């Protein structure tokens, strides 16, 4: 993923407990295309991304290439058979979404996997390049346990498809708390599940992801960076910036910051940093090559 922007992407302000499902996009563009608004963002984008990949396409009626580009993306996602849903966001009508995603220009395309934003690209690209990004995004999602398929909208919805597996009832209480932006309760519920199922990787991944959201919710990025720069030995300040970097897609920067901190700490402080790093490894995905590289660097720092 080559496109990234500085700073964390905080979507917590867009979560609406009474959100409505997304509506099929006007004018078609593919059977797996929905229009997203600030009101339905939680249900149609964040919650949907817990079961299948969601690709947000931010566009504007004032951008001449936006509509034709969305049409190309809509046709492309239809070829994935429900693995990807294209969620179109008119930033003029929904400025809060654009602000949360730090959109400085459109088109802007961002993936969502388990509620986590994955920056893809800004500006228009050729279909072949978009396909390459989408293929990689589907692979990343599968590595993190997101393998579901969405039901098509419009006429295609009448085509019978294999039924999706039902939601795991173990996660009901935690998911309800997450949907209400009650991260503390969601963390507590996932911690209970982890105690019951210590070998369940999905529980660990969900817990790590919600912990990250809880730690970064409402944090001012510039203030956090200033605090870390002013005091390089402040563990909390350094770990918070690492959290924000992972949220914003700057994974290597986050890992390097914490590994350097491991090198210059000892005892309980070193263990705190090591545990935070392991938590972020889980968020990023244990099969991600960046995690493998960071694990080797961590081992060298420790021994």
Task: Report pLDDT digits (tens) over 245-297.
Answer: 887 778 899 999 999 999 999 999 999 999 999 999 998 887 888 899 999 99
Contact 100, 89 (CB under 8 A): no
Ranking 5-19, 112-126, 261-275 by mean pLDDT, the lowest is 5-19
How far from 213 is each of 72, 134, 149, 258, CA to CA, in Å? 33, 24, 25, 18
What was the pLDDT predicted at 5?
33
Give the number of other CB atoms < 10 A from CB of residue 264: 12
C-alpha distance from residue 123 to each of 3, 80, 114, 268 (Å) = 10, 22, 25, 46
Residue 20's contacts (CB-CB under 8 Å, 6 or more residues apart) are: 39, 40, 43, 44
Cis peptide before 107 (omega within 30 of 0): yes
Among 292, 289, 283, which Cα is nearest to 204's? 283
Rounded distance, CA 203 to CA 135, Å? 25
At 139, list the tokens: 């692979």
pLDDT on residue 294: 93
Yes or no: say if 238 and 228 are a contact pair by the CB < 8 Å rule. Answer: yes
Single pTM value for the model? 0.50
Which pLDDT does position 293 carry in this prediction?
93
Statement: residue 155 has pLDDT above 70: no
Q: Given the DSSP bridges, would you call strands 23-24 and 84-90 parallel, antiparallel or unpaired?
A: unpaired
Please tell me what DSSP assigns to residue 157: G
132 falls in which pLDDT band (50, 70, 90)?
very high
pLDDT at 116 over 80: yes
User: Where residue 228 falls among pLDDT bands split at 50, 70, 90?
Assistant: very high
Element (H, E) at 112: strand 108-113
pLDDT level of residue 229 (50, 70, 90 thresholds): very high
175 pLDDT higher than 90: no
Q: Is the pLDDT of residue 159 over 60?
A: no
The pLDDT value recorded for residue 279 is 92
| Partners of 56 in the β-ladder | 87, 110
């Amino acid at each position: 993923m080559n496109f990234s922007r500085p700073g964390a992407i905080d979507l917590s302000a867009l979560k609406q407990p009474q959100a409505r499902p997304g509506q099929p996009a006007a004018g078609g563009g593919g059977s797996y295309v929905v229009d997203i608004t600030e009101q339905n963002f939680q249900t149609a984008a964040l919650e949907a991304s817990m079961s299948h990949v969601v690709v947000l396409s931010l566009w504007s009626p004032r951008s001449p290439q936006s509509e034709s580009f969305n049409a190309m993306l809509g046709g492309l996602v239809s070829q994935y058979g429900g693995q990807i849903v294209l969620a179109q966001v008119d930033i003029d009508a929904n400025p809060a979404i654009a602000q949360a995603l730090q959109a400085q220009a459109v088109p802007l395309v961002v993936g969502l996997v388990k509620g986590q934003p994955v920056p893809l690209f800004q500006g228009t690209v050729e279909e072949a390049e978009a396909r390459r990004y989408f293929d990689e995004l589907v692979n990343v999602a599968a590595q993190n346990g997101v393998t579901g398929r969405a039901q098509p909208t419009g006429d295609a919805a009448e085509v019978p498809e294999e039924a999706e597996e039902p939601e795991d009832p173990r996660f009901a209480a935690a998911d309800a708390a997450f949907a209400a932006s009650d991260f503390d309760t969601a963390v507590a519920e996932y911690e209970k599940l982890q105690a019951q199922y210590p070998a369940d990787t999905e529980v660990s991944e969900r817990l790590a992801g919600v912990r990250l959201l809880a730690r970064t919710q409402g944090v001012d990025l510039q203030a956090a960076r200033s605090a870390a720069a002013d005091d390089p030995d402040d563990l909390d300040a350094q770990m918070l910036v690492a959290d924000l970097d992972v949220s914003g897609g700057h994974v290597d920067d986050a890992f390097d910051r914490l590994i350097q901190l491991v090198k210059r700490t000892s005892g309980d402080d070193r263990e705190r940093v090591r545990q935070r790093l392991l938590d972020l490894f889980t968020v990023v995905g244990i099969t991600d090559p960046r995690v493998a590289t960071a694990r080797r660097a961590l081992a060298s720092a420790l021994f």
